[in-house]
Amino acid sequence: MNPWPFSARRIRKELILILLLNLICYLLFSRLDLFEKLDLWLHQHPSSQLDEVLLVSFTLALSMTWFAIRRLREARHLLKALRRQAERDDITGLANRRHANQALLRESERSGRSGRRYSVLLLDLDHFKHINDSHGHLVGDMVLQRFGLALRQRSRQLDTVARWGGEEFIIICPETEQEGARVLAENIAKLLRETDFSPVQSVTASIGVATLADDDTPDSLVHRADMHLYAAKQAGRDRVIGEGPSEPPQA
């Protein structure tokens, strides 16, 4: 269900409805000969000022139409700005959890149609609470911003990179099997080790990787990635754990 009360499609529908209503009124007036009756009445009452009233009404209608079109265009731009704001994280500029959930649903539906699986990376900054406690929240926000930038640098343009919550991030990789997702995760981990996060000495992340299975839902897929993320934390952090016989997730 669309949570927005207005949309560009709805505006177009309303404009079409207005045009249809005016067309119906015109056809109705023509069928009932109201135009001819009005013309006859004007000839029978030459002293009437109705023609001036009609002229004023016509110009007023044009003015109101112009005004409505301008307001509709402004509303359309405002709705686009509000939608962007509602789907973006304020600190990192990445997509937020709401947008990520929509992307998960979209990719699951696409995978069901095409038969091509997609993968999810769930990332968690290691010891982020210690960074906040030691350096303050402003430095913590800076770390989140640089971390988000690193994710964008290593991800593909078609991937969805989002802040999942707190110090957790998610990357949704369309048409990507486990091996490709693992390579991306390892590249991200390597980039973090090489990135300057001054005044923080070093920043690392634990990453869990999961690939869509036949009986998966978006929630079960993310849950499985979260299990792998937890396993990476338990194994010592700063590592990638995905699906495979050698690295089973821990419940």
Task: Specify the DSSP class assigned to residue 169.
Answer: E
Q: pLDDT at position 217, please?
A: 95
Tokens of 191: 């980039």
Tokens 């091996």 -> residue: 179
Catalytic residue of the set 167, 175, 177, 186: 167
Q: pLDDT at position 74, please?
A: 77
Q: How far apart are CA 209 and CA 224, in angstroms?
A: 8
Q: What is the pLDDT along the chain (251 residues), one digit of tens a residue?
A: 444 555 667 767 777 877 787 788 778 777 777 767 766 766 776 665 555 566 667 677 777 777 777 777 777 777 777 777 778 998 999 999 999 999 999 999 999 999 999 999 999 999 999 999 999 999 999 999 999 999 999 999 999 999 999 999 999 999 999 999 999 999 999 999 999 999 999 999 999 999 999 999 999 999 999 999 999 999 999 999 998 743 443 43
CATH 3.30.70.270 residue window(s) in the chain: 97-242
Residue type at position 237: R
Length of the chain as a residue count: 251
Residue type at position 166: G
3 state DSSP class of 121: strand
Residue among 22, 31, 169 at smallest CA distance from 95: 169
Q: How far apart are CA 248 and CA 235, in angstroms?
A: 12
Q: How far apart are CA 213 and CA 14, in angstroms?
A: 43
Q: How far apart are CA 47 and CA 17, in angstroms?
A: 38
Residue type at position 147: F
97-242 has which CATH code?
3.30.70.270
3 state DSSP class of 161: strand
175 is annotated as an active-site residue: no
3 state DSSP class of 60: helix
Phi/psi at 117 (5° precision): -85, 160
Q: pLDDT at position 248, please?
A: 41
Q: pLDDT at position 68, please?
A: 76
Q: How far is CA 196 from CA 88, 138, 189, in A?
A: 25, 16, 13
Residue type at position 93: G
Q: Are 151 and 171 in contact (CB under 8 A)?
A: yes
Q: Which runs of E-coded beta strand occur in 150-242?
A: 160-165, 168-173, 205-211, 240-241
What is the value of pTM for the model shown? 0.69
Residue among 70, 8, 31 at smallest CA distance from 23: 31
- Please count the other Cβ atoms lying within 10 Å of the Cβ belonging to residue 167: 20
Q: pLDDT at position 112, please?
A: 92
